[in-house]
């Protein structure tokens, strides 16, 4: 885990950061549907898991710019940017109706990431421990699949004043609309380090990376 300290005086979002970290501490979130028609077809054609393919694309997007890799060290009051962020995926146990968090390492190489993520999932299926360990995994972001519903909106609230900068991303089942497969995705970011543009930009980047992924 490596990071650089951001100079708050030269930070390009200096004014916004000060306002939303001091005066109005809050988060911002959006839900939108993205087109996954080609990704679903590619996953079926290659006999690979759609879920892991999307998880890879999501992790790639979250690593594509510094705004999505920010952190806050409350012990020193430092604003930081991690060199890399990794997804915390979740494995659901049907018999107990509980989840196990899975810390998966992001690799830009798809085959390496896919193999590691699949192995992590299979290992997690053998336990019922919640096992969340944020202290030792500060540069991980929540990536949670809500498989039971193709929802229209979702909100995740954090306590006012809690400067938690890691992204929280959820997505639901895809459904057919006008001959296309669309999937709801929800993105939450702290308002001190992200505004409406940066949240909305995640959806644009996801769509762009899906096109690039299936065209390889």
| pLDDT the model gives residue 156 | 84
Q: What is the DSSP string of 173-201?
A: --EEETTEEEEEEEEEEETTT--HHHHHH
Torsion region of 26: left, alpha or beta (phi above 0 gives left; psi -120 to 50 gives alpha): beta
Task: Report yes or no: 28 and 198 within 8 Å, Cβ to Cβ.
Answer: no
Distance CA 68, CA 168 (A): 10
Give me the mean pLDDT over the 103-122 stretch: 97
Q: What does pLDDT average to over the chain? A: 95
Question: Domains in the chain, start-ordered, CATH in brackets?
Answer: 3-214 (3.30.559.10)
Q: What is the DSSP string of 13-44?
A: THHHHHIIIIIS--EEEEEEEEE-HHHHHHHH
Q: Could you give the C-alpha distances from 31 to 43, 56, 172, 187, 209, in angstroms and in order?
A: 24, 20, 11, 7, 18
| pLDDT the model gives residue 87 | 98
Write the pLDDT tens digit of every residue in 58-100: 999 999 999 999 999 988 999 999 999 999 999 999 999 999 9
- Residue 158 confidence (pLDDT) above 80: no
């Amino acid at each position: 885990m490596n990071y650089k300290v951001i100079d708050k005086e030269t930070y390009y979002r200096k004014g916004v950061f000060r306002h939303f970290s001091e005066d109005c501490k809050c988060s911002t979130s959006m839900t939108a549907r993205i087109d996954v028609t080609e990704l679903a077809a590619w996953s079926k054609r290659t006999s690979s898991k759609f879920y892991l393919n999307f998880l890879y694309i999501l992790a790639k997007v979250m690593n594509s710019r510094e705004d999505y890799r920010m952190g806050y060290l409350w012990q020193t009051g430092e604003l930081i940017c991690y060199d890399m962020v990794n997804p915390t995926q979740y494995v659901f146990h049907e018999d107990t109706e509980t989840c196990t968090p899975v810390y998966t390492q992001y690799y830009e190489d798809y085959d390496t990431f896919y193999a590691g993520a699949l192995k992590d999932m299979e290992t997690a299926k053998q336990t019922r421990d919640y096992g969340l360990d944020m202290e030792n995994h500060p540069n991980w972001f929540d990536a949670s699949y809500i498989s039971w519903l193709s929802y229209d909106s979702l909100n995740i609230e954090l306590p006012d004043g809690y400067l938690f900068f890691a992204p929280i991303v959820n997505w639901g089942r895809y459904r057919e609309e006008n001959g296309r497969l669309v999937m709801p995705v929800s993105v939450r970011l702290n308002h001190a380090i992200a505004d409406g543009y940066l949240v909305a930009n995640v959806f644009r980047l996801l769509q762009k990376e899906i096109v690039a992924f299936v065209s390889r």
